[in-house]
């Protein structure tokens, strides 16, 4: 009996030390890197997801905005972070665009990351400052032809998704617009509101309230079909530029070598977060498609996007 009691005490003492060696993820705050300035589409979506993850994990998920270099600053920080699940990246399709166009990386945009989930796919809306006299896309193209090189379009940065949306518009319309890059969508919107630039392609999440208040003027959406959120707004393709389509997507990446159990846990909670009614309603109002696919599906999607931009960017003569 005494021997049994001794073994029981030894077993219980050993078990008491297990948490220090194998703590359940997550057991401390998590850093969510957002590779853009506060206030833009990826920031808005990322912060909502962060709040829901904090509630589920009972741990703080801390947004860390790192704008600049076409999202590469935030991507590099994530690539070099410890692969333990306590740093993840709210990635945009600028990451795939960079992988297609940039050469001097301090990290590998594919091999240094593990996909978690594609979160949403979002079209852009073409907005202009109220001082621009054009009332639709056709009139804007005609105005640009009358004033070559005088109209400026803003973007979230060089070779960003919003930059390429503008370049594709220029290419198909055969017009000359001056590109003005910013460190994220928010400062671009701010300068558009101030009249320092005249044109911007951006997410509905960022600019829809400004168009409704009359501070900006919306001329068309970049999707292939009209949006349920803006049924009266024509697509750019139907407004004189057949075949035009552009937009953005947002997803979640972890550093390479992160344990699969952590990837699965984060994936489960991210998908749960984006499927809450509050988020779905907000995204539907912004014409945004909620995805929430598997890591394997996101990986295939990501590689296909790299290939697409790798073919398109040389045509736009941006290299």
For 275-286, letters b (16+ CB in 10 Å) and e give: eeeebeeebeeb
Class (C level, CATH) for 28-122+247-315: alpha beta
Domain boundaries, the chain: 28-122+247-315, 127-239
Those residues with Cβ within 8 angstroms of residue 251's Cβ, 6 or more apart along the chain or in another chain? 90, 91, 115, 116, 117, 118, 119, 298, 302
CA distance 2 to 71: 65
Say if CB 35 and CB 87 are below 8 A apart: no
What superfamily does domain 127-239 belong to in CATH? Periplasmic binding protein-like II (3.40.190.10)
- Per residue in 118-171, pLDDT (tens digit) is 999 999 999 999 999 999 999 999 999 999 999 999 998 888 889 999 999 999
Tell me the CA distances in angstroms from 129 to 133, 204, 269, one per residue in order: 9, 16, 40
* Digitized pLDDT (tens) for each residue of the chain, 319 residues in all: 444 444 444 444 444 444 433 579 999 999 999 999 888 889 999 999 999 999 999 999 999 999 988 899 999 999 999 999 999 999 999 899 988 887 778 899 999 999 999 999 999 999 999 999 999 999 999 999 999 999 999 998 888 889 999 999 999 999 999 999 998 888 999 999 999 999 999 988 889 889 989 999 999 999 988 988 888 999 999 998 998 999 999 999 999 999 999 999 999 999 999 999 999 988 888 788 899 999 999 999 999 999 988 888 888 877 5
- Per residue in 170-211, pLDDT (tens digit) is 999 999 999 999 988 889 999 999 999 999 999 888 898 899
Say if CB 220 and CB 136 are below 8 A apart: yes
Count Cβ atoms below 10 Å from residue 56 Cβ, excluding itself.
16
Which residues are 178's β-sheet partners?
152
Say if CB 285 and CB 258 are below 8 A apart: no
Instruction: Check if 28-122+247-315 and 127-239 are the same fold.
Output: yes
Count Cβ atoms below 10 Å from residue 240 Cβ, excluding itself.
18
Count Cβ atoms below 10 Å from residue 131 Cβ, excluding itself.
8
Order of all β-strands in the sheet with 61-65: 61-65, 30-34, 87-92, 248-255, 113-122, 289-290
The secondary structure of 99-115 as a DSSP string is HHH----SS-TTTTEEE
């Amino acid at each position: 009996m005494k021997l049994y009691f001794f073994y029981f005490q030894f077993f219980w003492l050993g078990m008491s030390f297990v948490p220090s060696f194998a703590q359940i993820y997550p057991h401390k705050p998590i850093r969510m890197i957002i590779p853009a300035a506060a206030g833009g589409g990826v920031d808005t979506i990322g912060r909502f997801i962060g709040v829901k993850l904090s509630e589920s994990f009972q741990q703080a998920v801390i947004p860390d905005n790192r704008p600049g270099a076409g999202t590469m600053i935030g991507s590099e920080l994530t690539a070099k972070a410890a692969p333990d699940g306590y740093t993840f990246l709210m990635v945009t399709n600028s990451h795939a665009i960079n992988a297609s166009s940039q050469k001097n990386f301090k990290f590998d945009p594919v091999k240094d990351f593990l996909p978690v989930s594609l979160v949403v796919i979002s079209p852009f809306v073409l907005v202009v400052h109220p001082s621009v006299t054009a009332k639709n896309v056709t009139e804007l193209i005609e105005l640009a032809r009358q004033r070559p090189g005088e109209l400026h379009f803003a973007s979230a940065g060089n070779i960003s998704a919003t930059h390429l949306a503008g370049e594709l518009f220029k290419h198909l319309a055969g017009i000359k617009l001056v590109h003005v890059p910013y460190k994220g969508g928010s400062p671009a919107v701010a300068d558009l509101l101030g009249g320092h630039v005249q044109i911007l392609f951006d997410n509905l999440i960022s600019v829809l309230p400004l168009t409704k208040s009359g501070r900006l003027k919306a001329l068309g959406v970049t999707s292939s079909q009209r949006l349920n959120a803006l049924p009266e707004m024509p697509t750019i393709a139907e407004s004189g530029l057949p075949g035009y389509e552009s937009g953005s997507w947002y997803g979640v990446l972890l550093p390479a070598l992160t344990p699969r159990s952590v990837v699965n846990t984060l994936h489960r909670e991210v998908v749960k977060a984006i499927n809450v009614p509050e988020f779905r309603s907000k995204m539907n109002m912004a014409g945004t498609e909620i995805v929430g696919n598997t890591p394997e599906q996101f990986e295939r999607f990501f590689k296909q996007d790299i290939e697409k931009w790798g073919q398109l960017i040389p045509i736009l003569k941006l290299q």
